[in-house]
Structure 1
Amino acid sequence: MSSATHRLSFWRLVIAAIVAIAVASGGMFAYQAWASTQAAPAPDPWFAAYVDVTATPSYEFESATSESGKEVMLSFIVAATDDACTPTWGTAYTMDEAAVSLDLDRRIARLQQQGGDVAVSFGGLLNDELATGCTDHDALVAAYNSVLDRYASTTIDLDIEGENLSDTAAGERRAAAIASLQQSRRAAGDDLAVWLTLPAATFGLTEDGTTAVAQMLDAGVDVSGVNIMTMNFGQSLADGETSGEASIRSLQETHRQLGVLYEQAGIELTDATLWTKLGATPMIGQNDVEAEVFTMKDAVTLNEFALEKGAGRMSMWSLNRDTTCGPNYADVTRVSDSCSGVAQGDLFFADVLAEGFDGHVASSAKTITTEEPADPSDFVDDPATSPYPIWKEDASYLAGTKIVWHRSVYQAKWWTRGDLPDNPVLNAWETPWTLVGPVLEGESPVEVPTLPEGTYPNWDGTSIYEEDDRVLFDGVPYEAKWWTQGDSPAAFSSDPDGSPWVPLTSDDIKAIADTTTSDESTTLAPASTEH
């Protein structure tokens, strides 16, 4: 676990063509594949906190007293310093040595006797993940396989960060080995879930992170999910933003990125399914960035958001640290391996974060990703049920303008023209549009506030208007930006920069109505949006 700061697809074109056919035929379109292809039910979301196996003092995960500690993510399996294809626990113990020195096998068996379970995490920040140094494909597959067999784990967690993440060749070796491993185990009737645990900022995954996901998908790995490290946000943290709020922003951006990555891989998944493929791992209490602290309130915030969205997994770093530091630990701003650095009272982060995550690691490993082709009707926008105008390729949009595209509302971040609102870009700064949310059931066009007849002259195509002159057009007040004659205010919606007219804001209209008269006739009335 890190404790340090760290192509339009073919199917998109196919969908566009299908939508065009559907519209051309008046919307009467039937294609059984859209209805018959159904994804398997999503497993219940699960919680498994990380346990640092080699940390001192040793954490007794086998003595869990609450349900939140019954399933754990043991970390980290890494390459031996003298043989890159030999798995070890933190380079300190081979699996046989851990069985003797740490009594690890017996402790795992004891946890399983009590209804618990373990999964194994490979990698971390400090040492080489197996694929970084092991260049022989068969030996690498055998190394992963030996760990899963030893601990009877159905889930492999690849915590890839630091130099392990930036090594592209290692990423390709890792993806090829995991694809072979998953295919062979599934062919033998065994489950294998593959989770990627990756560093993230509030803008989502880094470029190396998105590359790691793409490598897995390109290799044919059925990726169960991406678990992001919602910690140590550093400079991407906004002023005044809490760790809980930053974690939510990071999840939202990673969800968008994950949709793009699957789209680029030619795999269509719904937003809901993509959320089941997301997990979050905060660093509880004091983070490595001194100013960042993940509090109990942040834990509640993150848990509620993740449950609302249907995230598939919740973890934390780490169970070793889930306790208030003792009086002898003088500087709580310095990260400890054995306490959180915050006053927890009688509460445990594990209990708060695990609330509602009632599934199990083993049962979730049975899930196989099933493609979910989109219904073409989801891409047809109806002006009568859209709160804002439908996006047009030849129209210009000022910053703050809201439009509807493919049944979703977008808002312009800056002036834009011809930029597709749902263009699949991996980084948010590559698009001028922000996805606000879906068009809701029962919505209709937003009413445009107007002023009563006579407040200003009605626009006349033969009249000359100077800068700052005001007119009414279908009751909507406009102000001239410069000298004009014959230019209709209606042109503003399609060319706001080129139009000499700009509509007054809602606040301006209300202020004018309030100050001109108190008569009931001055109340604002909705205007037709058809010019």
Structure 2
Amino acid sequence: MSKRYPGRRLSWWRLTILVGVLGVLGFASVEGWRWFEDVQTAANSDPWTDGYVDVTTTPFYAFEEVSDTDLKNITLAFVVASKTDPCEPSWGGAYSLQQAGVEVDLDRRLARLRDLGGSAQVSFGGAANSDLAVGCEDSTKLEKAYGSVIERYETTTVDLDIEGDFLTDLPAIERQARAFASLQGERKTGDAPLDVWLTLPVAPTGLTDAGTDAVTAFLEAGVDLAGVNAMTMNYGDTAVAEKPFIDVITESLQQTHRQLGVLYGRQGIQLGSATLWSKLGATPMIGQNDVRAEIFTIADAQQLNAFSVEQGLERVSFWSINRDQTCAPNYPDVRTVSNSCSGVDQGDATFAAILAQNRPGTLDAVFGPGTTPEPTETDPAAADDPKTSPYPIWDENAAYPAESKVVWRHNVYQAKWWTQGDAPDNPVLQISESPWTLIGPVLPGETPVPVPTLAPGILPEWQKDATYVSGDRVMFLDVPYQARWWTQGDSPDASKVLPDSSPWRPLTATEIMSLQKTATPTPAP
């Protein structure tokens, strides 16, 4: 057992890989040590797969009847506020905790699940009804309400599903965050520390602004998040029309991974890539999604599982176990979402079995509070080298028109619009805020890409006394420029120093190559 992470078994398969790579690295640099700290932290995790069960959906799903081949990690959904008392927990607004114990036999079934080697967590919130934090404004009562659920079901892991109107109710989210910070603090030194997962909707670009605000609220309240679980579903018709569904899912996870690094960094907590992946979960909606164009297939499940194992996602879940079967022949329209079947032909396969491959962990193997900053020193020897970089190294004093390519920290970036002073890897939460697009890493063996030039005479030389209007093009010191507005006597090279006020801009590589193909050299006078 790991002493640093109570209750967590060391993942030996990750450790074996770690030791082998370290033998190659030989701890030769600061960067190597940073990588070791990062991967060692992630290696202390046991990735797991769970499935949601809607407790109130009829016919009731027998989640407790698990065999050796069944998924044993269950997320019971959803605890929300009672319809008669905003500070009283209920299951889906239909049963009080006591009523669920009698009418649904929930307590006994949960005990049976655990007797058979299963584990369970409780999910609060969801798309329907109201979370306790929305209407219960008394902090003492709110904490007591959440605590009563945790105590009754003896769970060491909770899932907070924040979506719908709740997602934009920041005061309610902040109340929830303070309540769980207190509950987690009470259990920090005990035998049963409390894992807190935030389940949030994502777009292809990652978490929405409201989602990043929610994560920030929890971090600022002092909650040590076990992770953020991305709802990889219902992106919209436009997203899946442009690329395969699984590509949209993996892209959204990569962007959420990037955003988590920014969010923790803003709290003064620097985490490595592997650690951030271990704080990430993915929850697809199996089969037919609510968006009719989105269908998560068995093949998608196989690819998501492979991605999760390769990247080291701590958690993979799915909505829902109730639906993990092919619809019966008498189900009239499989494109209409059902609560009891997936809407796709699964054959003998189950989404649960596929998503759980190579993910042996259980909900009882808790992570426990323990997120700590990691080393951030940079190895001076790792600086970008102009001799091996395909494009110029980014310079904060230089101006870059749209489509310009630069190298920064061993990656190639392309400008989306004119920019100056904006670092390509500036930690923005939404990728749309950055003027740069990451193209990919600098590859081994690359050398500077030749800069396109114009043959003599294609453009006239700039003349100090000449008058130029918008669109006119000239050569100055072997560099082609285009006038942005009327000008006379303004040297084109001033655009390098004062790009905003200069009437000139240098031509892009695309414009230069176009001129090479179409222009006729200007006759010599």
1:392 Cα offset (Å): 0.8
Superposition deviation, residue 380 in structure 1: 3.8
Which one of the candidate residues 358, 368, 382 is aligned to 2:385? 382
Letter in 2 for 1:433: W
Task: Tell me, yes or no, if structure 1 residue 403 matches structure 2 residue 403.
Answer: no
Separation (CA, whole Å) in 1 of partners of 2:508 and 2:216: 45
The count of aligned residue pairs is 475
Query: Which one is further off, 313-322 or 38-47?
Result: 38-47
Letter matched to residue 55 of structure 1: T
Q: SS of the counterpart of 2:243?
A: coil
Contact 2:460 2:475 in 1 (8 A): no
Q: How do 1:97-496 and structure 2 match up within 5 A?
A: 97-234=99-236, 237=239, 239-366=241-368, 368-377=370-379, 380-439=383-442, 442-448=444-450
TM-score after normalising by structure 2: 0.79
Distance 1:207 1:480 in 2: 40
Task: Give the match for residue 58 of structure 1.
Answer: 60
Contact 1:456 1:470 in 2 (8 A): no
Following TM superposition, by how much is the alpha carbon of 1:182 offset from its aligned partner in structure 2, in angstroms?
0.5
Between stretches 59-68 and 113-122, larger displacement belongs to 59-68
Comparing 415-424 and 148-157, the one that deviates more = 415-424
Structure 1 contact 198–228 (Cα < 8 Å) conserved: yes
Deviations 1:28-69 (A, max 9, x none): x999x9799776344021100111111111111112345451
1:204-243 CA-partner distances (Å, limit 9, x unpaired): 1122111110000000110111111111111551533222
Asked if the contact 2:482–2:504 (Cα under 8 Å) also holds between the matched residues in 1, the reply is no
Contiguous gaps of at least 5 residues in structure 2: 1-28, 464-471, 484-490, 519-525
Q: Deviations for 1:428-458, whole angstroms, at most 9, x for unmatched residues? A: 1111112334446x4543443889xxx9569
Q: 1:231 to 1:504 in 2, by over 3 A?
A: closer
AA partner of residue 354 (structure 1): A
SS for the counterpart of 1:177 is helix
State percent identity of aligned pairs: 48
Residue 24 of structure 1 aligns with which residue? none
Distance 1:449 1:429 in 2: 28
Report the alpha carbon displacement of residue 413 of structure 1 after superposing the two structures with TM: 2.1
Deviations 1:373-403 (A, max 9, x none): 3122278433345343211112222333332
- Deviation readout 1:267-307 (Å, 9 max, x if unpaired): 11112211111111111111111222111222223222222
Q: Larger deviation: 317-326 or 238-247?
A: 238-247
Summarize the Cα distance change of 1:36–1:248 in structure 2 as closer, same or farther, 3 Å threshold: closer
For 1:171, give the aligned amino acid: I
Cα distance between partner residues in 2 of 1:48 and 1:35: 29
Separation in 2, partners of 1:284, 1:240: 20
2-side partners of 1:55 and 1:129: how far apart? 18
Query: Is there any run of 5+ residues in structure 1 with no aligned partner, and where?
Result: 1-28, 513-531
Contact 1:480 1:502 in 2 (8 A): no
RMSD: 3.8
Q: Is the contact between residue 403 and residue 508 of structure 2 (CA under 8 Å) also seen in structure 1?
A: no
Task: Say if 1:154 and 1:365, in contact at 8 Å, map to a contact too.
Answer: no
Give the secondary structure class of the aligned counterpart of 1:237: helix
1:183: Cα distance to partner? 0.7
For the residue of structure 2 that corresponds to 1:324, the secondary structure is coil
TM-score, structure 1 length as denominator? Answer: 0.79
* Residue pair 1:63, 1:111 contacting (<8 A) in 2 also: yes
Amino acid at match of 2:304: L
In the other structure, the counterpart of 2:11 is none
CA distance in 2, matches of 1:346, 1:72: 22
Q: Deviations over 1:15-37 (max 9, x none)?
A: xxxxxxxxxxxxxx999x97997
Q: Give secondary structure in 2 for the equivalent of 1:328.
A: coil
Structure 1 residues 503 and 332: CA distance shift in structure 2, 3 A: closer
The answer to whether the 8 Å contact 1:71/1:118 transfers is yes
Q: In structure 2, how many angstroms separate the alpha carbons of the residues matched to 1:356 and 1:511?
A: 55
Cα gap change, 1:436/1:357 in structure 2, threshold over 3 Å: closer, same or farther? farther
